[in-house]
């Protein structure tokens, strides 16, 4: 198989990365994708850096052996702590979901005060804070970890009253600040977007990385002459490391597919 006709690999700790996959499919409708949801180790957000790096390396090895021409780390925690290790191991383009959202937020913000919500590991890594300061030292970052968001989303409990209460509790951090832009620093969080919006001042712009990441992926493939040369109609492939039935239901809803085959594999 020529490089151009190979798949694009996408991985996350669970179903959150499907928000990125959906945007990628819209941006690159002729390309084929292999998605891996590491549901067996979910959530990544409370794991050590060493564990997340180890999981990510195993997943990318699996995807690489499936013939991919590029990879998208559709997980903010893995993007924050594992990207450098992955890029040093493989020569294919490996994209992350952090940089696109940072650039979008900085371009939008008028107050130069940007909020970030994410998993505990992502926030403690200071990746968002460091990257934004490197671009513009005058940027002020207000960060808040939201460790309960991912479990609630993965269990499909977003519309329960306690979920609304938890969102309200975490977002109190942004009251009485000059934050005018909020980065959803986890690919699960767009599934909470409607509740998050209700608990923020109306003037605050919400940035999720899916669309910006898809645009960056398209530009990267074009620049590396890796866009599909001949349409092959290759089927997308979906893999999980645990609970395929639960993932199957949520993937169908999110991707609007009636027939989706989820493959269970232990790495």
Catalytic residue among 146, 186, 220, 266: 186
> For the chain, what percent of residues have pLDDT higher than 90?
82
190-240 tens-digit pLDDT:
988 999 999 999 999 999 999 999 999 999 999 999 998 776 667 899 999
Beta strands (DSSP E) in 54-180 are 68-73, 94-96, 113-118, 140-145
Query: Could you tell me the CA-to-CA distances from 9 to 65, 146, 189, 217 in Å, in that order?
Result: 11, 27, 21, 11
Cβ-contact 41, 50 below 8 angstroms: no
Phi, then psi, of 200 in degrees rounded to 5: -125, 160
For residue 231, what pLDDT is reported? 67
Catalytic residue among 75, 146, 220, 266: 75
Does the pLDDT at position 1 exceed 70? no
Is 186 a catalytic site residue?
A: yes
The full set of domains in the chain, from first to last, is: 3-97+211-264 (3.40.50.1860), 98-209 (3.40.50.1860)
For residue 228, what pLDDT is reported? 87
Is 266 a catalytic site residue?
A: no
């Amino acid at each position: 198989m020529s490089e151009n006709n190979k798949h694009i690999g996408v991985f996350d700790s669970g179903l959150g990365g499907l928000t990125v996959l959906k945007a990628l499919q819209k941006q690159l409708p002729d390309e084929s994708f292999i998605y891996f949801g590491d549901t067996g180790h979910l959530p990544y957000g409370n794991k050590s850096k060493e564990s997340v790096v180890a999981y990510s390396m195993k997943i990318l090895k699996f995807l690489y052996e499936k013939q991919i021409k590029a990879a998208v780390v559709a997980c903010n925690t893995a993007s924050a702590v594992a990207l450098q290790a992955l890029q040093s191991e493989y020569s294919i383009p490996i994209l992350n979901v952090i940089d696109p959202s940072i650039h979008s937020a900085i371009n939008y913000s008028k107050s130069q005060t940007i909020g970030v919500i994410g998993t505990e590991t992502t926030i403690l890594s200071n990746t968002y804070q460091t990257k934004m300061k490197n671009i513009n030292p005058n940027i002020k970052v207000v960060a808040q970890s939201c460790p309960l968001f991912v479990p609630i989303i993965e269990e499909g409990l977003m519309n329960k009253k306690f979920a609304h209460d938890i969102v309200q509790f975490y977002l109190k951090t942004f009251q009485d600040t000059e934050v005018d832009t909020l980065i959803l620093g986890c690919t699960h969080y767009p599934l909470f977007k409607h509740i998050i919006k209700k608990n923020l001042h109306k003037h605050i712009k919400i940035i999720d990385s899916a669309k910006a990441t898809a645009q960056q992926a398209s530009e990267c493939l074009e620049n590396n002459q890796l866009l599909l040369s001949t349409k092959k109609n290759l089927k997308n492939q979906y893999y999980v490391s645990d609970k395929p039935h639960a993932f199957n239901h949520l993937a169908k809803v999110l991707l609007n597919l009636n027939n989706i085959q989820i493959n269970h594999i232990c790495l």
